[in-house]
Amino acid sequence: MLQRTEFLLGELLTNLRRNGLLTLAAVITVMCSLVVFGLFNLANTNLQNILLEEARKAQISAFLAKDLKAEETDKLEKAIRALPEVRDVAYVSSKEAFERLRKELDSPVLDSLGGEADGRLPAKFSVTPRDSKAIDAVAKQLKGMAGVTDVSYGGQVVRLLNDLLKQVRLAGYVALILLALATCAIISNAIRLTIYARRREIRIMQLVGATDWFIRVPFMLEGLFHGLVGGLLAVVVTFALYRHMAHVAESLLPFLRLVKPETLLWSYTLGLSALGAVIGIGSSLISMRQFLKEA
């Protein structure tokens, strides 16, 4: 077993050295394919994250009756906080509500009212649900509470964001599968070139009685090498490009919150290198199977 392992590793090193140009071409092909795959996945991840963050910002305004006493307000706040779907509750007084409205509208008419406007707007609770999908259920519960006169929230917008998030996820999964298949096809063709360049060597091995699996294993190891090295190089290139694009995007659009590269580095290192290795071995097996059938 040890001798066979030494022989296979020796064959791998010899073949890589002998076919240096084809090896370099295969590694670069894997790297380029996985860079495209990785960048698309990062773009899809950021788009999903932006939509999710916007959906999480959704709040419900529960307007209170003007004659509600302080004790009743406190009791109502505790009842709202006790709801399992509620993440946070903030009390907004009538004066605070007017100040916010004045700043948002920036109207001289509102500025001229001064203290006369105090009390004209109803006090409210700004309620943030734990999950944007539960916003309709939380709003319905708030409407049924004593002391709440009206409930306002962007339910239609939240539903639109949730639907859009589902569509983006679905489109992302389909695109990633198609990219993976395209990557596999490209790498398979690159490995097929190395097999074709050594067709005489393979034919001699068949003539001296070598089994198909004995012939396949060195090419599988080469495929593993191409995929693993290409995957690791793809991680370096992908995150160098992503850091640059993220820096440019944040300087042009400061409000845009992209996923930090550091949070994804290890997962992408493992993911792309493992994907490259699997595709490399799989492509080698497919190419060898076709070649041995034709031989």
| pLDDT tens profile 20-69 | 677 777 788 888 888 888 888 888 888 777 777 766 777 788 888 887 78
Q: Name the nearest CA neighbour of 63 among 71, 53, 55, 73.
A: 73
164 and 115, same domain (yes or no): no
Do 220 and 285 meet the contact criterion of CB atoms below 8 Å apart?
yes
CA distances from 77 to 95, 152, 236 (A): 19, 17, 51
39 and 105, same domain (yes or no): no
Q: Is the dihedral of CA 31, 35, 36, 40 positive or negative?
A: positive
pLDDT tier at 210, thresholds 50, 70, 90: confident
103 and 179, same domain (yes or no): no
22 and 88, same domain (yes or no): no
What's residue 117's pLDDT? Answer: 47
* 236-260 pLDDT, tens digit each: 998 888 888 888 877 777 777 777 8
User: What domain range is 201 assigned to?
Assistant: 2-54+160-294
Residue 111, pLDDT above cutoff 60: no
78 and 47, same domain (yes or no): no
Tally of structural domains, the chain: 2
248 and 206, same domain (yes or no): yes
Residue 218, pLDDT above cutoff 60: yes
Q: What is the CATH number of the domain that holds 110?
A: 3.30.70.3040
208 and 69, same domain (yes or no): no
| Domain end marker among 119, 153, 187 | 153
178 and 271, same domain (yes or no): yes
Contacts of 209 (CB under 8 A, 6+ apart): none
| Domain end marker among 121, 153, 185 | 153
Lowest mean pLDDT among 72-81, 104-113, 192-201: 104-113
| Domain end marker among 153, 175, 210 | 153
What's residue 116's pLDDT? Answer: 47
Residue with tokens 């290890």: 266
What's residue 16's pLDDT? Answer: 65
133 and 235, same domain (yes or no): no
The β-bridge partners of 47 are none
216 and 165, same domain (yes or no): yes
Residue 161, pLDDT above cutoff 50: yes
168 and 138, same domain (yes or no): no
112 and 184, same domain (yes or no): no
